Every structure is written in C-alpha cells, then in structure tokens.
Amino acid sequence: MPETMTYAAALRAAMRLLLSQDERVFLAGEDIGVYGGAFGVTDGLVAEFGEERVRDTPISEEAIVGLAVGAAITGMRPIVEMQFSDFVANAMDPLVNQAAKLHFMYGGNVTVPMIVRAPGGGGTGAAAQHSQSLEAWFAHVPGLKVVLPATPQDVHDLLLAAYLDPNPVVFLEHKLLYKTEGPVELRSRAEDTPARIGEAKVLREGTDLTIAAYSIMTPRALEAADGLASAGIEAEVIDLRTVQPLDIDTVRASVKKTGRLLVTHEAPQPVGVGAEVVAGVCESDALDYLLAPVARVCGQPVPMPYARELERAVIPQVEDVEAAAKELVNA
C-alpha cells in the first residue's frame, strides 16, 4: 500500500534501504550528518547508520567527488552529495575527467558505480550561485548518466535504479520538489525498483500537442495541461525522467500522434536538454508529422536573480507553458 510522503522522505527512504541492504554503500557530503543536509534530506541517517557511513566532509567538493571515484573503483558504492548543484563547478575534474572516463579510458577493466546527488534549481531566492540547473553539461558527457526525478515515487525508485547501475550517475533533485507530497510504494530491496534509467513516462495522454518536461517542470506541465483542457486543448505530457540516456522514442511516438511539440525546462534555453529533444524529433521521421514549429519554454538567459518577481520572470511558470501551448496549437 503506497503511503503519502514527501519527495525528501522518499529519497531518504531509498538511501536508508541502500545503507541497510549493502554495506558497501556510504554517504558523504557537507553537513549531511547531524545537520541533516542543507535541505534535510539525510535527516536522521547518521543516527541510524553512524558517522562512518554517513560522513560529514570538509568543504572540499573536488575531494568529495574524487573520494567517490577512488572508493567506487575499489569496491564501495558511494553516494555523495553536492550541497547545491552549483558547487559541482568545483568538482568537474573528478566527475567529468575521471568518473565519466575511467571505464572507457582504461579499456573497460574498471567500473565506477557511484552516485552524485545534487539539488538544483531556483525559486528559493538563493540567487545566481545557488540556483542553477546544470543537467545539460552532464548529459553532454559520454560516460555519465543523468537522472532528474519529478515525483516522490520516482525519486525513490530512480535512486535505487541509479544504485543498480554500474556507471556514475548524476542525480539531480530540485529544491522545490523536496516538500512536495505524493503516494510512494517503498521498495524492500533495491532490485525491486521498477524504474529504469532511460525510460520516459507518459503522465497524461492527449491529442493536440506533446509537452516534454522533467524535474520541476513536470508538475508545472501537468498543471498547465489541466488549464489547457479547460480551454479545449488536450496535451500529452511526458516526464523524461532521465536525460542521459534520453528516451527519445517515447517523444517521437507522441509527436507522431499529436503533431506538435513543446519542450520545457528551467535551465536556460541555449544548448539545453530541450534542444536535444527537438533535434531528436526533427532528425527522425517524426518531423513529417509536425504541424507547426516546435516550441521551447525555458529559463530566461540570465543568471538567477534574487528578487521574487525577477526570479519568477526568469523561471518558466505554469502560465508560460500554457500560453506557449495555446500559441502553438492555435498557430
């Protein structure tokens, strides 16, 4: 029986399961112990599993990710946290030049099974250096997988799937999602997770246009679809869930049905994941089904501002999606 719980709690439950199930798993990051993490995600885990396995680290992002790489290639299953995803800027070498490359570069003789968790996104007034959505960087790097769950159930299931994956996984959570609630079926073994990295999910069927979203834009797209429905427009809403690998087939199939594509994410538009979704559609036979140019609803191309109204203007809102969808359908 599914329980109602928050995204943060469902994520914590997944970590608890992994810590219980596999002694090779450990957590490391800044203030993840008694503080419970900047967003309370790891709250209580240090009491349960001890300071050895739920490790507070110094403020040393490069060492945190490097620690994970070294531990992963010698038999551990690290789950490390960047306190805000922006700080991964300090850890791009171990993540991109090391974790992503070792398996290939060393001829396949090593695997790097590690998870880097990082909260991204704006809406909290934390401004330019604490609000970025950087998934596009990671999705561009062969060797990394990139997961962005939108619901409590998915964050639970996909963390387990990330653990089962022998590759380095960048696991991007959105700060505003932590407190959202939903029904969650807790798994009792990681292997029970039904989620697969690389599988999108059609959350709402529709006939007039396809909206492809992920992370925080998934609930916003669903809300927009409700609004659109009352205006007589039936949107099909796809939650991509993972952007590397990207389940482009699901998007293509939907576009063939609806004839219109809108992609939305909070990250800025230029060279974002949305561009990849569009390209993936337009280089296939789905192109022929397009009844109108595609639309992207993305973050404005500025750093994230602090002031509430500025932040709102930069971040795509429900009404932005709705307006763009209407324009697309009525064009």
Partner 1 sequence: MPKRDPTTPDGARRSLLVMWTIRRFEEALEELFARGVLHGTMHLSIGQEAVAEGVAAALDEGDFITSTHRGHGHAIAHGADLERMFAELLMKDTGYCRGRGGSMHIADVAAGNLGANGIVAGSMTIATGAAFSQMMQGTGKVVACFFGDGAANEGAFHESLNLAGIWSLPVVFVCENNQYGMSMAVDKATAGGSIVRRADAYGIPGVRVDGNDVVDVFRNTSEAVARARRGEGPILIEAVTYRYRGHSKSDRNLYRTVDEIEQWRKSRDPLDRYEARVIDEGWLTSDQLEECRIEARDAVRRAVEAAFRAPDADPADLVGAAYA
Ligand X SMILES: Cc1ncc(C[n+]2csc(CCOP(=O)(O)OP(=O)(O)O)c2C)c(N)n1
- Quick one: which of 4, 97, 179, 327 contacts partner 1 (CB under 8 A)? 97
Cis peptide, bond prior to residue 245, ω within 30 of zero: yes
- Strand 209-213 and strand 261-268: pairing? parallel
- Identify residue 13 by its one-letter amino acid code: A
Beta carbons within 10 angstroms of residue 331's beta carbon: 10
Smallest distance from ligand X to CB 121, Å: 16
Nearest to 151 by CA among 192, 116, 181: 181
Candidate segments 72-80, 150-158, 228-236, 287-295, binder of partner 1 by CB under 8 A: 72-80
Compute the residue count for the chain: 331
Smallest distance from partner 1 to CB 43, Å: 10
- Quick one: which of 119, 120, 143, 206 contacts partner 1 (CB under 8 A)? 143
Smallest distance from a copy of itself to CB 104, Å: 5
Candidate segments 33-41, 141-149, 187-195, 196-204, binder of a copy of itself by CB under 8 A: 141-149
Nearest to 279 by CA among 120, 136, 168: 136
Choosing from 30, 81, 103, 130, the catalytic residue is 130
Q: Which two tokens stand for residue 61?
A: 């992002």
Indicate whether 274 belongs to the interface with a copy of itself (CB under 8 A). yes
Nearest to 29 by CA among 55, 62, 8: 55
Nearest to 138 by CA among 82, 77, 99, 96: 96
Whether the CB-CB separation of 263 and 212 falls below 8 Å is answered with: yes
Cα distance between the two ends of the chain: 45
Minimum CB distance to partner 1 smaller for 125 or for 227: 125
Applying the rule CB under 8 A, the residues between 145 and 184 that interact with partner 1 are 145, 166-167
Indicate whether 267 belongs to the interface with a copy of itself (CB under 8 A). yes
- Quick one: which of 181, 256, 282, 306 contacts partner 1 (CB under 8 A)? 306
Question: Rounded CA gap, 40 and 299, in Å?
Answer: 27
61 included as an active-site residue: yes
3 state DSSP class of 263: strand
Tokens 């300090």 map to which residue? 90
Residue 173: strand pairing partners? 119
130 included as an active-site residue: yes
- Quick one: which of 2, 4, 106, 205 contacts partner 1 (CB under 8 A)? 106
Question: Rounded CA gap, 201 and 239, in Å?
Answer: 5
Q: What mask, x for binding a copy of itself by CB under 8 A, covers residues 288 to 307?
A: x-x-xxxxx----xxx-x--
Candidate segments 13-21, 60-68, 151-159, 317-325, binder of partner 1 by CB under 8 A: 60-68
3 state DSSP class of 322: helix
Candidate segments 82-90, 176-184, 278-286, 296-304, binder of ligand X by CB under 6 A: 82-90
Q: Select from a copy of itself, partner 1, ligand X, none the partner in contact with residue 1, using the beta carbon and a kind-dependent cut-off of 5 to 8 Å.
A: none
Q: What is the DSSP letter of 94?
A: I
Indicate whether 244 belongs to the interface with ligand X (CB under 6 A). no
- Quick one: which of 17, 30, 42, 214 contacts ligand X (CB under 6 A)? 30
3 state DSSP class of 268: strand
- Identify residue 116 by its one-letter amino acid code: V
Catalytic residue positions, numbered: 61, 130
Report the interface residues with ligand X, using CB under 6 A: 30, 59, 61, 83, 87, 90
Positions that interact with a copy of itself (CB under 8 A): 86, 89-90, 92-93, 96-97, 100-101, 104-105, 127-129, 136-137, 139-143, 243-244, 246, 267-268, 270-276, 278-279, 282-285, 287-288, 290, 292-296, 301-303, 305
